[in-house]
Structure 1
């Protein structure tokens, strides 16, 4: 182990492990020069890295030279993507654990966020969806996977992991990786040596860590190939003894285990990732375009759906709300009592939740929860905008799906519109089947590959929604339906009709065009 040797940072005192290209502060290290092996005074053994390098090359440990990574030698090396797993303690059988996951060697053409889908027989605490985020330095923020093995039989449990890099505007650049780590759940009466023997027999690139004055000790029979990285920090002790012990017993002692899983990229055909009408907001229009009684089921596929006041030009929100009176929609009057940014609906850790971000307040079942206080939505919950004046806009949670929520108006605008909010690029899969008996006449929709899909509740067929799709053939939607790629298609129709009226106005009228809208 050497101190930082960057010529431009002579005052950096960070220790750098042999073979690492940069120090903890990000300073690049020069390529290691061939040197004579360093022999320790205690036992005459070189460093653990020298021993491992010698065993891999089939040489004597005494003649080992420091291991130089390929990335430091002449010419750049092709780095393989890996998922680094650390903090695993096999002795915590039957309890809750949190392992740290880090992405390494990922290509630079990844999306800024990489979603991770996890499936396992272990009890995952935070669900099966997690997101890796790229930092401004180009590396990735680690995530923690919490699970429990309480009540499970001892043995090895596979964790199926899928990593998806999706570019909403570039479906051809989407990439997918998979890996399958194995978590060991030992017997409650298993000794520490038995646990380590089982683990080392099924894993590669094992790292033994000792922190805070701990002891990391590895004793193994001589010969063969060893692939163990021993690290000691903060006044800890690391000892490697490869001499033949009595009886050939392997004895390990450490606090946690870390290892690397190679990520295997899956070649997904481009046509599977394409959608005929990519959109994050859309609408199902019930009735003919010229009908005076149109109804709109407005669709939103957003991580955070912002609800606010209806503004035809430059609105601040995604889901736009307007007061409906006796004669229909009123964009003035009580509509002005809605904030431009009134509330946010998002998918939280335990389900969909709503948060008041307005100046006028939101009542949930008649109670104001307080500003910036997320509240979990429940079936049948009534949402009133605003807190000071009743009847401006009132919504009800009419359906809660694993991947979305449906809101119906219960005020005078009930016959005009309803709202369907789903998680973006999420196919609930088998989770939808549990909802099918309760769906009734509601269309079952989801968002995938950048666009909206309809799932037929009888045949299970999936249909991509796009303008021109024959919606009459789909059950649960009804006849005379059309799909629009905008959440508020009627505003564009009104603007076009207003333009036609301006063009048809005689030049002698002298009225400004703005007064005719």
Structure 2
């Protein structure tokens, strides 16, 4: 209710009942702008009439407010001018990726992003491949499968990464969504978004301002309980309050109906752009930059795992189950087997790096404990050219922790064998990405143990096998039959992760020895 507002009776104190045109003293009331009660009443009646005739009104725009910590969502109805329903059906939403759950100040740098596919047409496959590349992700990239539910939408995917030991700033995450038909990529969508790694002393206000500047083209600033007012062209006048460095985001482009006001974590949409897919017959069915050949029953002189890496620079370091810092993860082998603790702890997380050089391939010591090359320490941060037969010892202070031998130097990569107690456990292919090999390598570039291995290379985003006799190239994938390829023994299979035997421990004292946990 409100008091009498008749200009001829300025001292009248009678109340005007809702919906009445005169006060209790029978003074006529002037026609004023509708009150919130009038708007709510009109909206409820309009919604009831519309539900009885045409059904439920369309959803309107969301007004998210990101605060820390997040609270439950609420809804606030607002009145909009009536608009005649469109005669034609609304245009379908463009395919996009909805990203939520990001917290720039997460403890320890560990992050989990929730990604949802929205607006995807019905012509795509019922299961899509999702590939992400970023410096924040272990080994540079990760793969997931996105499955369509019985309701027709897509099951969300949770992607984990870490900003630990990363310099503050903005990091790109490149996303590819792949639709496969008969094992080949038929359609492909891409997008790129930016993740902020803040300074340790950054405030929430600074973090939110950077988020708005990178994801929004309109910014509403309201600090410390101040009020930001937003007016729309259709007569809406909103008072938005943002407290404690919260983010106020207003979108007035919705059709008629109510406006939902949500208080959520930082979330945004990234448009997926469909790109042309090459129709060449040699496109790779299983792109990867790190994989493994697993031998279930190795014979004498064979390794249980042949680990494959396709990187411009390959970092050698200590084996860590959580947040590894290197690409090639090394651990000490004793007569009792592999030991992830003990002497393994004398390896640095980032111990040595192998990269391409003008003379071939170099190795550089970047560790605390040193590297011995043929028994000599070359000095820290001093690259040394690799040669066939070179003995690489990690570390310089304690003998025999990890000893590697250079068994092959090819134009497209390096092959390393272990010379210690882990000789039967693993060897390593360090390949250049997108590099074709020479069919007949020079005899001096191969040691006997490398000459017995298959000739592998990396192209079109994945690993390939080359038959030196016929020149036939075969893409390697989990479904490949390897025993029919030259150089492979029986009981070999292709794994899409470089360490499929035991990759991650989620809870104390329990291990998950299944690489499928990384590809849901």
TM range (shorter): 0.3 to 0.5
- TM-score normalised over the length of structure 1: 0.43
Higher RCO, Cα 8 Å, sep 6+ = 2
- TM-score normalised over the length of structure 2: 0.43
